[in-house]
Amino acid sequence: MMIRLSAKDNAALSAMTHEEPLIAKITVNPNLPNGLRSQSVLIIHEPAAIPDGFGLVLLAFDGEIANAPVNTVRLSNDIRYLKENDVIKFYPAGCKINVLYRKEANVNTFLLTERCNSFCIMCSQPPRDIDDSYLVDDILEALPLIHPETPEIGFSGGETTLIGNDSFTRLIQAAKNHLPNTSLHILSNGRNFNNLDLAIKVSRVQHQDLMIGIPLYADYSQLHDFIVQADGAFDETIRGILNLKRCQVPVEIRVVIHQENYHRLPRLAEFITRNLLFVDHVALMGLEMIGFAKSNQQALWIDPYDYRHELQDAVETMAKAGMKVSIYNTPFCVVPEAIRCHAVKSISDWKNDYLDECSKCSAKQQCGGFFSWNLSKPSLHIQPL
Amino acid sequence: MSPLGKRFKLVDDFNQAENHDYHLLPSRFAGLDDGRYLLSNEVGEYLVVDRSQLESYVKKAVDQDSDFYHDLKSKHFLFDDDSNVAIDLLALKYRTKALRTSQFTSLHLFVVTLRCDYTCQYCQVSRQTDDKHAFDMSEETARKALALVFRSPSPAIKIEFQGGEPLLNFNLIQYVVSEAKKLNETHKRDLQFVITSNLSFLDDTVLAFCQEHGIHLSTSLDGNEALHNSNRPRPGKNSYEITVKGIKNAQRFLGRDKIGALMTTTEKSLSQVRSIIDTYLEHNLDCIFLRPLSPYGFAVKNHQTQKYDIDRWFEFYKEGLDYILEINRQGHHFVEVYTQIILTKLLSPFNTGYVDLQSPSGAAIAAIVYNYDGDVYASDEARMLAEMGDRKFRLGSVHTDSYEDIWLSDVLLDTLESSLSESAPMCHDCGFLPYCGTDPVYHYATQQDVVGHKAFSGFCAKNMKIFKHVIKLLEDPDTKKILTNWVR
Ligand code: SF4
Ligand code: SF4
């Protein structure tokens, strides 16, 4: 079920002493030692005496409360799921809360910037040309608060490298320092790695488990450049991938499949095995119907059932060449049986949903289901197994 | 298809190239069958095209909106003003294909004795004698050969023991293995050993030794009992029985992956390829190498090779491969090794270590032979040629020559240089060149010329037929599925 990661309709129940936004970790322990309280957010799920000294107190229930201490907020219904170890950003003006990290999530992704140097026709997160450099500082502040047993975190954009080479490497370094057991997945269009220096900088961090996910949408320049709406992008992205691999940074190729490129998918797979066999993973991805994918739906949508032959051909070409291949964002029942072993539950839990008929399906455990916003436009060939 | 929203440009807006204004990248073509051609680039990517496509490609008349244009561009047959990353990628792929040449000699054959208990009529080199000293390699010779082995820069070193029947000099094999391992403590190469044996003397001691050192065994199995015994006579007339027993023992004690068999084709084989393959299946072997009879040694003297020509051999190969594909269709993975080598060259960015299909030739720089007496030869065939009295490809001796003397010898360098496919008449513009190679010793043996006239070359005729056949097989999607599984 869709989970909201941000809520504005929280209500301040007492005076706020914060002037600046607060990034802090949630606790359920009202007896936390005094010294730790000011940097912690206490969440309370039922009426009880509210202890003093916490940086913020969140009430996750509706009942009346007497003598609320300063900085007490009643949570919006949408985010009452918050738990111990989650990390939030609280904006005192407007009482808005952004959820930065959920310990329970299958993956926690941090947005590095909304700016981008491409303008992909199916972008799920349409770029905005704004100054959002504060995001980097927020993440630097949040990383030390993240639970050390978190298996994986992600950085996404926009184009992540646009925060600048120094900030980019600083963030990877911080992830390594604070989360030495956590894998880090970064999305980038790869174009800025055309500059070998950036690739070298990233590799020097020697992050223990890094993967840079780079989209490649076609096997020749014009089609890729059109899809990302940027001339020269194909050459830059390929050179970026070569530079990263030259520096031994793990790279994943991500191919979003739609009306404009599905017919070349088998050729793209061949192109990858001939030219980029050394990349570490290839993800073939169904369309996420939000952002530009939604506004361009007429031009882009193709039922995954209708490209199943191309998909199978591509997966088999790459798998036989010894590559690690996964199918993302595609309902299990629509994936041809021979390649179902490559289908992965790839959708982040907060935006993951199933159709009603899925409750009858014996494969639901293995199936990645749907993006919540794809439910209105599912494949016409959903067939409970 | 409905257009995109207004903020987006159209696909045509992203084309920086003028129509029909493209640059050809290095490529070659060759006739495939009626009106169709194989078009291949420098790194072995290919397209099957018809005459009009070929002409329009060369004349720069391919329409840039066509799928054919995109195929040519994606497979690096051309580039245009929209993108030039093709050059970087081609350079990378060329380096990958040439990697083995830069790594230099990895296969080192030690002829540890010429003695043999068999009397095969086509055998080029073996001797029947009780005088051990005359035809056995000595420890001193072996030690000097080993010193040369580890001068090779190759990260992987394979030492293959040959004969005669190498197990007749098992003591020396033990000596070489232990000395090589000692040397490798400092050299730290990926070191492997193979014994090529008829398995007559495969007893528990030998098996235990192979087990301890992870040694692979390679043997000869020519087909069913009658065929094998007739090809490979030995005093007891029981060579088949001994060989299959040896194969079974090796499989049981060492593992199935540690024993392989090779077959030699004789005139008698030609009519029974299915039965030969069945023999391999019966004995749990998972591949076969359908080889033509080589033109050296006793084989040439007996005029065996002339008894059947390449065409007949090719029919044999084709029937065999058809049968093997049928076996695979039934769900049993079974591989024809020569086809596998060619498939790897056709379908992967890598080259293979197979010595006979390389340019520059693999002679001495991929594989080298140390004869029992310390003479060093450019290849096994070169040694056989010497047995017939022509020592053209004797590169020196471990007793008198240094590493530099041998590998920089005029005969070797001249041979390698003059026999490069890329500059050989007929080969240099042949579409099959990326998959083919050059075999100077063969051409010297058959035409007294290291380059050879390819129109009269059995090597060329055989390979060209096989290339065409395999490329056509790949056009059938189901067959392609099987064949791509063979690629290594
Ligand atoms: S029916 Fe639903 S749960 Fe089952 S495989 Fe299809 S999409 Fe998945
Ligand atoms: S030997 Fe024959 S098939 Fe091979 S490259 Fe030369 S001409 Fe072509």
Average pLDDT over residues B32-56: 96
pLDDT at B68: 97
Out of B454, B456, B467, give the residue to mutate to test ligand 2, the one with the largest number of ligand atoms within 8 Å of its CB.
B454
B170 lies in the same domain as B202: yes
Out of B310, B338, B426, give the residue to mutate to test ligand 2, the one with the largest number of ligand atoms within 8 Å of its CB.
B426
Ligand lying nearest the CA atom of residue A384: 1
Does B14 sit within 8 Å of A225, measured CB to CB? yes
Q: How far is the CA of B38 from the centre of ligand 2 (A)?
A: 13
pLDDT at A66: 77
Distance CA A46, CA B228 (A): 88
Q: What token pair was written down for B413? A: 């360098």
pLDDT at B301: 46
B88 lies in the same domain as B118: no
Q: What token pair was written down for B319? A: 């029937």
- Higher-scoring residue by pLDDT: A140, B294: A140
B contact residues 33-52, partner A, Cβ 8 Å cutoff: 43, 45
**CB contacts, 8 Å: A226 with chain B:** 9-11, 13-14
Q: What token pair was written down for B181? A: 């391992």
Domains: count for chain B = 2
DSSP bridge partners of A211? A185
Q: Measured between alpha carbons, how far is residue B440 from residues B310, B381, B453 in Å?
A: 19, 10, 11
Distance CA A291, CA A121 (A): 9
Share the mean pLDDT of chain B: 92
**CB contacts, 8 Å: B480 with chain A:** none
- Is residue B32 included in any domain, yes or no? yes
Handedness of CA B449, B453, B458, B464 (dihedral sign): positive
B151 lies in the same domain as B62: no
First to last CA, chain A: 21
Q: How far is the CA of B421 from the centre of ligand 2 (A)?
A: 8
B233: pLDDT strictly greater than 90: no
**Cα-only R_g, chain A:** 22
User: Collapsing DSSP states into helix, strand and coil, what is residue A91?
Assistant: strand
- How sure is the predictor about B234, in pLDDT bands with cuts at 50, 70 and 90? confident
B285 Cβ neighbours under 8 A, 6+ residues apart: B221, B247, B260, B261
Question: Could you read off the pLDDT of A182-209 as tens digits, one per residue?
Answer: 999 999 999 999 999 999 999 999 999 9
B44 lies in the same domain as B120: no
Considering B97, B118, B144, which residue would you say is the last residue of a domain?
B97
Judge whether A164 and A199 are in contact, CB under 8 Å: no
pLDDT at B388: 83
Query: For B291-385, where are the E strands, in sequence order?
Result: 335-336, 367-370, 375-377
- Cis link prior to A158 (omega < 30° from 0)? yes
A173: pLDDT strictly greater than 50: yes
SS3 content of chain A, % helix, strand, coil (to 5): 35, 20, 45
B75 lies in the same domain as B182: no
Considering B407, B430, B448, which residue would you say is the last residue of a domain?
B407
How many angstroms away from the CA of B278 is the closest CA of chain A? 27
**Residue A362 Cα: closest atom of ligand 1:** 4
- ∠ Cα B54 B57 B62 (to 5°): 120
pLDDT at B300: 52
Distance CA A216, CA A272 (A): 9
Q: What token pair was written down for B453? A: 């006239």
B54 lies in the same domain as B133: no
Q: How far is the CA of B80 from the centre of ligand 1 (A)?
A: 45
A39, A24, A143, A27: which is closest to A83 by C-alpha? Answer: A27
Question: Could you read off the pLDDT of A8-44 as tens digits, one per residue?
Answer: 999 999 999 999 999 999 999 999 999 999 999 999 9
B308 Cβ neighbours under 8 A, 6+ residues apart: B267, B270
pLDDT at B340: 97
How many angstroms away from the CA of B486 is the closest CA of chain A? 9
Judge whether B129 and B169 are in contact, CB under 8 Å: no
pLDDT at A123: 93
Q: Is A368 in the pocket of ligand 1 (CB under 6 A)?
A: no
Distance CA B249, CA B318 (A): 32
A121 Cβ neighbours under 8 A, 6+ residues apart: A226, A227, A228, A229, A260, A292, A296, A299, A300, B4, B8
Q: Is A385 in the pocket of ligand 1 (CB under 6 A)?
A: yes
Distance CA A248, CA A226 (A): 29
Question: Could you read off the pLDDT of B344-370 as tens digits, one per residue?
Answer: 999 999 999 898 999 999 988 999 999
- How sure is the predictor about B124, in pLDDT bands with cuts at 50, 70 and 90? low
- Is residue B333 included in any domain, yes or no? yes
How many angstroms away from the CA of B12 is the closest CA of chain A? 8
Judge whether B114 and B374 are in contact, CB under 8 Å: no
- How sure is the predictor about A49, in pLDDT bands with cuts at 50, 70 and 90? confident
Distance CA A218, CA A382 (A): 28
Ligand 2 shell residues, CB under 6 Å: B 421, 426-427, 430, 432-433, 436, 454, 460, 463-464
**Residue A368 Cα: closest atom of ligand 1:** 8
Where does B83-203 have alpha helices with state H? 85-103, 132-135, 139-149, 170-187
**CB contacts, 8 Å: A121 with chain B:** 4, 8
Phi-psi region of B396 (alpha: psi -120 to 50; beta: other; left: phi over 0): left
Proportion of chain B above pLDDT 70, given as a percent: 95
Q: Which domain holds residue B311?
A: 104-407
Tally of CB atoms within 10 A around A135:
17
Domains in chain A with CATH codes: 6-98 (3.50.30), 108-374 (3.20.20.70)
Question: Could you read off the pLDDT of B471-484 as tens digits, one per residue?
Answer: 999 999 999 999 99
Sheet containing B36-41, strands listed edge to edge, beginning at the edge strand earlier in sequence: B27-33, B36-41, B46-50
B308: pLDDT strictly greater than 70: no
Handedness of CA B397, B400, B403, B408 (dihedral sign): negative
Residue identifier of the C-alpha nearest atom 6 of ligand 2 = B427
Comparing CB atoms, the residue among B15, B88, B485 nearest residue A222 is B15
- Is residue B450 included in any domain, yes or no? no
* Least confident stretch, A240-254, B97-111, B285-299: B285-299
Distance CA B400, CA B406 (A): 10
Q: What token pair was written down for B117? A: 């208990």
First to last CA, chain B: 42
Q: What would the 3-class secondary structure string for B6-46 be?
A: CCCCCHHHHCCCCCCCEEECCEEEEEEECCEEEEEECCCCE
How many angstroms away from the CA of B240 is the closest CA of chain A? 37
Question: Could you read off the pLDDT of A243-293 as tens digits, one per residue?
Answer: 999 999 999 999 999 999 999 999 999 999 999 999 999 999 999 988 999
- Is residue B427 included in any domain, yes or no? no
**Cα-only R_g, chain B:** 25
Q: How far is the CA of A333 from the centre of ligand 1 (A)?
A: 6
Determine the residue among B83, B343, B347, B483 to mutate to test chain A binding: the one whose Cβ has the most chain A Cβ atoms within 10 Å. Answer: B83
Q: What token pair was written down for B480? A: 């392609």
Tally of CB atoms within 10 A around A6:
14
pLDDT at B299: 47
- Is residue B217 included in any domain, yes or no? yes
Average pLDDT over residues B252-265: 93
B204 lies in the same domain as B58: no
B124 lies in the same domain as B82: no
- For B97, the closest chain A residue by CA position comes to A274
CB pairs under 8 A between A and B: 87
- How sure is the predictor about B446, in pLDDT bands with cuts at 50, 70 and 90? confident
pTM flag (> 0.80): yes
Helix B204-213 crosses helix B170-187 at what angle (to 10 degrees)? Answer: 10
Does B85 sit within 8 Å of A238, measured CB to CB? yes
Considering B78, B97, B116, which residue would you say is the last residue of a domain?
B97
pLDDT at B303: 47
**CB contacts, 8 Å: A229 with chain B:** 8-9, 14
Question: Could you read off the pLDDT of B416-429 as tens digits, one per residue?
Answer: 999 899 999 999 99
A149: pLDDT strictly greater than 60: yes
Burial class (CB in 10 A: 0-12, 13-18, 19+), B179: middle
Tally of CB atoms within 10 A around B370:
28
CATH of the domain at B234: 3.20.20.70
**CB contacts, 8 Å: B93 with chain A:** 274-275
Judge whether B279 and B263 are in contact, CB under 8 Å: no
B465: pLDDT strictly greater than 80: yes
**CB contacts, 8 Å: A239 with chain B:** 85, 88
Upper half-sphere CA count for residue A179 (Cβ side, 13 Å) = 25
- Is residue B459 included in any domain, yes or no? no
- For B10, the closest chain A residue by CA position comes to A226
- For A233, the closest chain B residue by CA position comes to B83
Out of B436, B456, B457, B459, give the residue to mutate to test ligand 2, the one with the largest number of ligand atoms within 8 Å of its CB.
B436
Average pLDDT over residues B303-317: 75
B contact residues 6-35, partner A, Cβ 8 Å cutoff: 7-11, 13-16
Average pLDDT over residues A199-227: 97
DSSP notation for B39-89: EEETTS-EEEEEHHHHHHHHTT---TTSHHHHHHHHTTSEEETTB-HHHHH
Does A222 sit within 8 Å of B82, measured CB to CB? yes
**CB contacts, 8 Å: B5 with chain A:** 292, 295-296
- For A238, the closest chain B residue by CA position comes to B85
B314 lies in the same domain as B250: yes
- Is residue B482 included in any domain, yes or no? no
- How sure is the predictor about A121, in pLDDT bands with cuts at 50, 70 and 90? very high
Q: How far is the CA of A296 from the centre of ligand 1 (A)?
A: 26
A297 Cβ neighbours under 8 A, 6+ residues apart: A289, A377
B36 lies in the same domain as B118: no
B22 lies in the same domain as B138: no
Q: How far is the CA of A368 from the centre of ligand 1 (A)?
A: 8
B316 lies in the same domain as B393: yes
Owner of token pair 């003059």: B418
**CB contacts, 8 Å: A243 with chain B:** none
- How sure is the predictor about B127, in pLDDT bands with cuts at 50, 70 and 90? confident
* Least confident stretch, A103-112, A370-379, B297-306: B297-306
Q: What token pair was written down for B315? A: 């029919």
**Residue B464 Cα: closest atom of ligand 2:** 3
